[in-house]
Amino acid sequence: MQKDTKEKSLAVRKADLENLLTEAVEHHNYVETARSAVANAQQVALFHAWQAGIRLNEMKKLVGHGNWQSWFEINFCKPFGVSDRTARLYMKIDTDNAHLRNRPPSSSGACGSRDHGVRPLVSFGSPEAGTTRGKAPSMTN
């Protein structure tokens, strides 16, 4: 009788372990999907920060030396709620990656594709939160 009880106990534990294992793998798969989505979102954000920087640097050339700071504050930062620091970060991303401006678009055509080759300056927190860093390796995988 003790043997039957022990076998039933082992069978119950085995079933519990199988269920828990299945659930753990399922949650792991959700984690991987979410992690991938975050990485994609970072790439899209980086691409658009770079694109904004390209345009800001072009505007700076058109506005001219001595007029830029006030024009920039009045026409870009204040009306759109963009901090000076964030806008300058965009410009620096472009300046540090100017060699990529004339590169043909990726074959996927996706604006945030991982092969744009832009080198980030931030660890994608808020620039105001002090998350700026030095040049990081290219985020191409």
Share of the chain above pLDDT 90, in %: 57
Give the model confidence (pLDDT) of 34-65 as tens digits: 999 999 999 999 999 999 999 999 999 999 88
Report the mean per-residue pLDDT for the chain. 79
Which residue ranges make up each domain of the chain?
2-129
pTM across the whole model? 0.63
Residues 6+ apart with CB under 8 A from 60: 68, 72, 91
Predicted confidence (pLDDT) per residue in 104-141, tens digit: 666 554 454 445 566 655 444 444 433 333 333 333 33
Give residue 132's pLDDT: 35
Q: What is the pLDDT of residue 65?
A: 83
